[in-house]
């Protein structure tokens, strides 16, 4: 019978494999830094990375969605589609819940540190930066990547 630790590790391994596969196109073009551009009217373009041109202009490239006409529907390379499916809206909501919980735990730590270290500002700071009251570095890393993708 699988344990929770087994399930967590299996999910991490699966996600890591999907993310690694989705970080390049079949031709080897890097696609690790996905982002979108809002084109108005409820439409956007999904890109896999950036390309720096000879004149040092940085442009969004390559498109992750391909094709698209009345005769030919859009498609993605299989590794990008598999990753997108694995990271669908349900996963996004679960990650949002996890981030919210991490924020709540840190806020509770700040409150507890204020009570426990009332006369010891250095101890309070240590508790909140490197001690058990510190924010989750993993949650912060995920939050920073999400916020970076929106900029």
Count of all residues that appear for the chain in the document: 151
Residue appearing with tokens 């079949």: 26
**Which pLDDT tens digits describe the chain residue by residue (151 residues)?**
777 788 778 888 999 999 999 998 888 888 888 888 888 888 888 888 887 888 888 878 788 888 877 788 888 899 999 999 999 888 999 999 999 999 999 999 999 999 999 999 999 999 999 999 999 999 999 999 888 765 5
Residue appearing with tokens 């924010």: 135
What residue spans define the domains of the chain? 1-87, 88-151
Give pTM, 2 decimals.
0.74
For residue 16, report the phi and psi dihedrals to the nearest 5 degrees.
Answer: -65, -40
For residue 51, report the phi and psi dihedrals to the nearest 5 degrees.
Answer: -130, 130
What is the C-alpha to C-alpha distance for residues 42 and 40, in angstroms, rounded to an integer? 5
Per the structure block, which two tokens stand in for 82?
Answer: 């598999």
């Amino acid at each position: 019978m699988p344990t929770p630790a087994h399930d967590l590790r299996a999910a991490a391994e699966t996600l890591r494999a999907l993310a690694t596969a989705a970080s390049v196109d079949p031709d080897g073009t890097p696609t690790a830094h996905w982002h979108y551009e809002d084109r108005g009217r409820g439409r956007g373009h999904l890109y896999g990375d950036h390309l720096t041109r000879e004149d040092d202009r940085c442009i969004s490239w390559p498109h992750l969605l391909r094709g698209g006409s009345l005769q030919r529907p859009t498609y993605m390379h299989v590794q990008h589609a598999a990753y997108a499916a694995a990271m669908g809206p349900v996963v996004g909501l679960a990650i949002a819940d996890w981030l919210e919980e991490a924020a709540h735990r840190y806020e509770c730590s700040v409150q507890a540190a204020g009570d426990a270290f009332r006369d010891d500002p250095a101890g309070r700071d240590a508790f909140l930066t490197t001690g058990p009251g510190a924010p989750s570095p993993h949650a912060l890393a995920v939050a920073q990547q999400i916020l970076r993708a929106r900029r």
